[in-house]
Chains A and B, each alone.
Chain A
């Protein structure tokens, strides 16, 4: 597994190296959002003194290599009434975690799904799936749905509700 991680890191570093100054400027101009004008990519292009087709093709390339996860609207889940933010954690067999993690990640109500390290004996959980629900009962039902999907691979689980935001800063990338 360690080799796979090193390999993945190398791939990521190569991708960073593939970005040139123009890409970095595009990232800088779009990381807080796309302009709300009829031709948003042309708007960015003009600010950089290049063609809109260049901006579009560069962003397409960044999407293909995963630097852009997706271009989309992100709802404020609190404002939409999803007030119960539950971090579900699962102890699943390591040898099956990739396959299981992908299945759990495909569920619509799961916003983040990761494999993270255990700390035995006190922390046995290796799969994390964040669920958003209107209240705690609904979140527990969603957890049960994940449990059904995992079946006998669920060797133990828990849910941690957030009770207070202690700090939240927007992530900005310094490029």
Chain B
């Protein structure tokens, strides 16, 4: 990754135009050819320096329901509980964190009722209380990393 790649990443993190020739507009801002911008962008995506490029949709506004759920899992049971929790297709992400609350999973379902159903099912299977922490209000989502 060179200086130009960094400039491209920083500029495109801020946004991208909705116009007929948006890459040309961005390339002009960077003082490069459109073709070079497209090549570099393609490489940055291929090598996974960028994980995505495009519109970020608000899944909740598209009708989905989401929640972050925490569990305090005794270390000895961790693998077993992980296997049960991960087996649910509604569990989109699951992270181990270094805390008393050491398992944090994200549920993605097509309705809010389904969140409660899946959580109560998981509680029964693992025999532990799960702490359902859906967002009540969102203040920011996005990533702006200076590179």
Contacts and interface: CB of A to CB of B under 8 A. Distances in A.
Contact of B58 (A67, A72, A114): A67
Interface residues of A, number: 79
B55 A166 contact: no
A110 B140 CA distance: 8
Nearest to A167: B94
Contacts, number: 233
Contact of B136 (A1, A60, A119): A1
Interface in B74-112: 82, 85-86, 91-99, 101, 103-105, 108, 110
Given A56-B19, A72-B15, A175-B62, A77 B143 contact: yes
Interface string B116-147: 00000000000000011111111111111111
Contact of B133 (A15, A33, A116): A116
B21 interface: yes
B30 interface: no
Contacts of A105: 139-140
A34 B53 contact: yes
Interface in B14-32: 14-16, 18-24
A5 B136 CA distance: 8
A161 B140 CA distance: 20
A73 B55 contact: no
A39 B24 CA distance: 9
Given A31-B55, A66-B58, A163-B98, A36 B42 contact: yes
Nearest to A12: B61
A118 B85 CA distance: 22
A67 B135 contact: no
Contacts of A115: 135-139
A30 B55 contact: yes
Contact of A75 (B20, B24, B147): B147
A12 B66 CA distance: 14
A87 B55 CA distance: 25
A71 to B, nearest CB: 4
Contacts of B60: 12
Contacts of B63: 13, 16
A16 B15 contact: no
Interface of A: 1, 5, 12-13, 15-16, 19, 27, 30-34, 36-42, 52, 56, 59-60, 62-63, 65-77, 79-80, 82, 87, 97-98, 101-102, 104-106, 108-117, 119, 123, 128, 132, 158, 160-169, 171, 173-175
14 contacts: A31-B54, A33-B45, A40-B22, A63-B18, A65-B61, A72-B14, A108-B144, A114-B135, A114-B136, A114-B139, A128-B133, A163-B98, A166-B85, A169-B92
- List 4 tightest A-B contacts by C-beta distance, closest first: A105-B140, A105-B139, A73-B12, A101-B139
